[in-house]
Amino acid sequence: MRADAGATEASRDPKIARLARAGAVLVKLLGRTWRIRASHDAEVKRLRDAGQPIVFSLWHGDLLPLLYHHQGEGVTVLISEHGDGEIIATIAQSLGYRTVRGSTSRGAARALLELAREVEAGHDLAITPDGPRGPAKSVAPGVAVVANRSAAPVIGAAVHASSAWRLKSWDRFLIPRPFARISIAYSDSSLIDGSDAREAALAADKVGEMMQEAEQRAREAFE
């Protein structure tokens, strides 16, 4: 369960491994054509300048452009151990991300411990509250629990693209088309209070509100 360590069952599947490597190359080529504009990111810069790790909350379907935009920043991403997770993990690692495999529902104790260690080491986290199986844009308590345990602020991140493909997957996975204009926006930051995981989990609605704030800001950038 250590970051970037160990092999999952999916990673041993030659077909999935080939798809993952090809996906990493394609994303790098496609991403170079995207015209990305970030807004409402002053809080992200302020916290990073202060040396404060951040727990980024993002929808599973928005992963691709956000991975490309934040590449090389040493962020640790929580990614499932399923086959599609193996492809995303390979893409993320090729862009300079650290990865923790698992979820905050299945094997949650191990994942929470490893994520807390990543924050202690000074790394930002990226977690999808609706992953790994949805429903899309639903908010499971994982983000709130991790943020509470690590005492790190949460910031919602969202994407809006001028032109994109949507996969027929549960999350309607977003792939911006070549030369698409992409708006990335962030919510205000917030700490998650609670004396234990059960109390922290009650803040899931708060994380949902932060995601709505980020989504609205991303859309408004096109108006």
Could you give all domains of the chain from N- to C-terminal order, each with its CATH number? 10-220 (3.40.1130)
Band of the pLDDT at 2, cuts 50, 70, 90? very low
What is the 3-state secondary structure of the chain? Answer: CCCCCCCCCHHHCHHHHHHHHHHHHHHHHHHCCCEEEEECCHHHHHHHHCCCCCEEEECHHHHHHHHHHCCCCCCEEEECCCHHHHHHHHHHHHCCCEEEECCCCCCHHHHHHHHHHHHHCCCCEEECCCCCCCCCCCCCCHHHHHHHHHCCCEEEEEEEECCEEECCCCCCCEEECCCCEEEEEECCCECCCCCCHHHHHCCHHHHHHHHHHHHHHHHHCCC
Q: Is it the case that residue 203 has pLDDT exceeding 60?
A: yes
In this prediction, residues 190-200 reach a mean pLDDT of 92
Per-residue model confidence (pLDDT) at position 107: 61
Q: Is it the case that residue 63 has pLDDT exceeding 80?
A: yes
Mean pLDDT of the chain: 90
| Higher local confidence (pLDDT), 5 or 151 | 151
Per-residue pLDDT tens for 123-175? Answer: 999 999 997 888 999 999 999 999 999 999 999 999 999 999 999 999 999 99
What is the pTM assigned to this prediction? 0.91
Per-residue pLDDT tens for 80-103? Answer: 887 678 889 999 999 999 999 887
Share of the chain above pLDDT 70, in %: 92
Per-residue model confidence (pLDDT) at position 1: 39
Per-residue model confidence (pLDDT) at position 44: 98
